[in-house]
Amino acid sequence: MEDLRFYEAFRQRWQKRETEMVALLERYFPLTIVYYACPRQWRHRVRTTNIAECFFRNLWRFMGRFPGFRDEEHSCWVSGTYLSGVERYKKAQEVLPYAL
């Protein structure tokens, strides 16, 4: 299976630098491939939601505006700024009959 090849390549690449992350991935990897336990004719219905995909795409774009972070506190501040903006945007959409 192609996903097992990608998993193994990822694990080998990051094992030494990010041991905690790889340990979590190994622990939860079986849950990420539960998709294959579904009958083949159902698989087209099992997907991530567009909401999650859109959220992470926009987060990636927002974070890309910063050349780097001074420290952990600065990265938390930037993440908080993004999340506050998302929350305010959602509230504005509830009030307005259209998206800005």
What pTM was computed for the model? 0.41
The two three-digit tokens of residue 33, written as one number: 């491939």
Q: How far is Cα 30 from Cα 83, in angstroms, rounded to an integer?
A: 30
Residue 88's Cβ-count burial label (10 Å; 0-12, 13-18, 19+) is exposed
Give tens-digit pLDDT for 5-26. Answer: 888 999 999 999 999 999 998 9
- Answer whether residue 95 shows pLDDT above 70: no
> Nearest 10 degrees: CA dihedral of 17, 68, 9, 55?
130
Amino acid letter for position 72: E
Give tens-digit pLDDT for 40-81. Answer: 887 777 666 666 777 788 888 888 887 888 888 988 888 888
Please name which of 23, 25, 20, 21 lies closest in space to residue 7, comparing C-alpha atoms.
25
| Contact between residue 42 and residue 50 where contact means Cβ atoms under 8 Å apart | no
